[in-house]
């Protein structure tokens, strides 16, 4: 067990970072108003949105970039001086501070070419390779898009009418959050100032007053925003010394968004159209990084059968904060995190099982972490410096079912799926022509825009 002096220094430095990052709101600083979308559609999707450096300058950051940069630099020096250059927890804390220094630069260059450079430093690129594999994220994204666009998808659709209003959605989510976290631990409220249908931050879920939801949308929000994003925040806040684990710099985005998508999958909350939307984001980032402008990316999805609304949404997410002209690939690359994080989390869990250390898996929920942090954090947990995660999804609290699920999936991956499919295709050819299992399920309505 480290000395009390060391622990107190660690906590003091951690609390300084928590306080310094508090006014930083990346998505708020680069969000677009509904009027931009209205003007774009009014042009028939042919005029680039009028969003440039001047537009972003009118959106206050809520902090002084130069002052915050100086304070982060001072904190960086104090971490090295007080904890030592070789201290393992100090290195994680220092890496997080350096991330926020890059975030300050990212937001100072909104609407400019340098924005894309900082975004790639923080979130990566669609041309990055999957850890431990040669495939790029773009290749994986395209493959997933193909899978979630197969004709079979239409045979799976069932009626999930979006007939739940915002007030009812708030009541339903509040009840579910109380059941999972305990009464009053998570706030759920109506909001008039968010662009998406719902969003989470800290210990709060906000629901757009103008939005409507299906029962499946509510289930997605419960596990994605609640169990993962809010759950890891609250677990981080309960850390006695490493309090920075409650805040999320971009370095942890992949594991967070990937785990949220994985939870949707493990709880059977997701559906093909939503999975396709997540996969489309990787393709959109790559197109924009290669120099396509806003209109070109928008038309790419429109020509592939994506609705005008969803084509705009996936394109807008990538170009917010960057340059709509496509110059130098100056775009926001955060949206690769969903697919990248999903794959790397699955590979981490499978590897932990194969390596005989499944006990490390619950540490995925200990706070805002990266996969590389986990072995060290587990060691510090054994020493009593890090507290075990309190809020854990059922399948991560008792790992038996998860172990079996990943065990079977690992074994199936050894099979030649092409040959297996060829075998069963001969049986399927004997089937009469079939209609969708749940005809007319979508009723012409778009899917909810859940982050």
Tokens for 236, please give them: 């981080």
> pLDDT at position 446, please?
47
In DSSP notation, 191-205 reads ESS-SSSEEEETTEE
The whole-number pLDDT of residue 387 equals 97
Give the per-residue pLDDT at 441: 46
Look at residue 372 in the predicted model and tell me its pLDDT.
95
Q: Could you tell me the two tokens for 248?
A: 């999320």
Closest to 278 (Cα-Cα) out of 450, 31, 27, 162: 450
Give the DSSP letter string of 67-135.
HHHHHHHHHHHHHHHHH-TT-HHHHHHHHHHHHHHHHHHHHHTTTSTHHHHHHHHHH--TTPBPTTSS-
b (16+ CB within 10 A) / e for 193-229: ebbbbbbbbeebbbbbeebbbbebbbbbbbbbbbbbb
- Separation of alpha carbons 237 and 335, rounded Å: 26
- Delimit the domains of the chain by residue range: 129-451
pLDDT at position 224: 95
The pLDDT assigned to 181 comes to 97
Residue for token digits 């409220």? 189
Query: What is the rounded (10 degree) CA torsion for 329, 346, 314, 323?
Result: -20
Quickly list H helices, 290-320: 294-302, 308-319
- pLDDT for the residue numbered 448: 54
Average pLDDT of each block of 10 consecutive residues along the chain (451 residues)? Answer: 93 98 94 93 95 94 96 98 94 97 97 96 92 83 78 68 91 97 95 83 91 91 96 97 95 95 92 86 94 96 92 95 91 94 92 92 97 96 96 94 85 77 82 62 49 66
């Amino acid at each position: 067990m480290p000395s009390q002096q060391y622990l107190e220094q660690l906590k003091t430095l951690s609390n300084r970072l928590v306080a310094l990052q508090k006014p930083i709101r990346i998505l708020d600083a680069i969000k677009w108003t509904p009027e931009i979308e209205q003007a774009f559609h009014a042009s028939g999707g042919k005029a680039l949105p009028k969003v440039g450096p001047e537009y972003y300058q009118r959106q206050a950051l809520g902090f002084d970039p130069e002052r915050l940069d100086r304070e982060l630099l001072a904190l960086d020096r104090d971490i090295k001086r007080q904890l030592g250059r070789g201290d393992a927890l100090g290195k994680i804390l220092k890496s997080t501070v350096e991330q926020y220094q890059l975030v300050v630069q990212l937001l100072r260059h909104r609407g400019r070419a340098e924005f894309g450079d900082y975004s790639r430093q923080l979130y990566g690129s669609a041309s990055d390779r999957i850890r431990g594999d040669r495939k790029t994220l773009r290749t994986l994204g395209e493959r997933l898009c193909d899978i979630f666009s197969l004709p079979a998808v239409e045979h799976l659709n069932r009626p999930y009418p979006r007939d739940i209003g915002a007030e009812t959605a708030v009541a339903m989510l509040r009840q579910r959050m109380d059941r999972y976290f305990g009464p009053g631990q998570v706030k759920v409220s109506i909001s008039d100032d968010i662009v998406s249908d719902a969003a989470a931050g800290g210990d709060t879920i906000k629901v757009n007053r103008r939005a409507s939801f299906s029962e499946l949308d509510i289930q997605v929000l419960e596990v994605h925003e609640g169990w993962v994003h809010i759950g890891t925040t609250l677990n981080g806040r309960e850390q006695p010394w490493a309090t920075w684990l409650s805040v999320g710099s971009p370095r942890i985005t992949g594991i967070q968004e990937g785990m949220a998508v994985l939870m949707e999958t493990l709880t059977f909350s997701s559906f093909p159209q939503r999975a396709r939307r997540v996969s489309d984001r990787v393709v959109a980032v790559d197109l924009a990084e290669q120099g396509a402008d806003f209109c070109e990316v928008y038309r790419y999805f429109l020509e592939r059968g994506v609705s005008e609304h969803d084509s705009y949404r996936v394109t807008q997410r990538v170009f917010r904060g960057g340059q709509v002209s496509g110059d130098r690939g100056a775009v926001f690359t955060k949206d690769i995190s969903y697919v990248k994080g999903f794959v790397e989390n699955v590979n981490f869990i499978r590897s932990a099982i194969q390596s005989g250390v499944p006990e490390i898996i619950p540490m995925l929920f200990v706070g805002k972490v990266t996969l590389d942090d986990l072995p060290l954090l587990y060691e510090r947990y054994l020493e009593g410096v890090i507290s075990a995660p309190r809020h854990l999804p059922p399948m991560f609290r008792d790992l038996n079912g998860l172990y079996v699920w990943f065990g079977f999936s690992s074994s199936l991956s050894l099979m030649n799926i092409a040959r297996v499919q060829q075998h069963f295709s001969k049986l399927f050819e004997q089937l009469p022509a079939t209609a969708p299992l749940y005809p007319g399920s979508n009723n012409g309505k778009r899917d909810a825009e859940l982050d």
